Amino acid sequence: METIDKIKQQISENPILLFMKGSPKLPSCGFSSQASQALMSCGEKFAFVDILQNPDIRAELPKFANWPTFPQLWVEGELVGGCDIIIEMFQQGELQSLIKETAEKHPAAE
């Protein structure tokens, strides 16, 4: 499977998806750590892809998303943004409602 197809599949199969360095429990960069902490604070399950384990995705996703940095939060197939946007949305209460609404729409998503 081509890398771009793999990325599209991951985005389509996971209503809440964080492309990050490391994992939510063991992030490998400060920005990924902050982003995953904010997401975990929303109290809903979300999927993640460790781009350090997937160098092809790490190379291709910035071009596909037209977003140069990681982490990247995708909700229902749309790029929400990176760490600064995630933290800002969290501080304003927007992230919590977005994540909760999305989780309610996709109850089977793990």
Condensed to tens digits (0 to 9), the pLDDT of residues 67-83 reads: 999 999 999 999 999 99
Q: Which residues contact 74 (CB under 8 A, 6 or more apart)?
A: 11, 14, 16, 17, 18, 19, 80
- What is the extent of the structural domain holding 57? 3-105
Condensed to tens digits (0 to 9), the pLDDT of residues 1-26 reads: 899 999 999 999 999 999 999 999 99
Distance CA 4, CA 55 (A): 13
CB 27 within 8 A of CB 18: no
Predicted TM-score (pTM) of this structure: 0.95
Q: Is residue 110 part of a domain?
A: no
Mean of all residue pLDDT scores within the chain: 96
CB 18 within 8 A of CB 37: no
Q: Is residue 71 part of a domain?
A: yes
Structural domains counted in the chain: 1
Q: Is residue 54 part of a domain?
A: yes
Q: If DSSP codes are grouped into helix, strand and coil, which group holds residue 93?
A: coil
CATH number at residue 29: 3.40.30.10
Q: Is residue 13 part of a domain?
A: yes
Q: Is residue 7 part of a domain?
A: yes
Q: Is residue 87 part of a domain?
A: yes
CA distances from 82 to 27, 32, 66, 106 (A): 15, 9, 12, 23
Q: Is residue 73 part of a domain?
A: yes
Q: Is residue 44 part of a domain?
A: yes
Element (H, E) at 11: helix 3-13
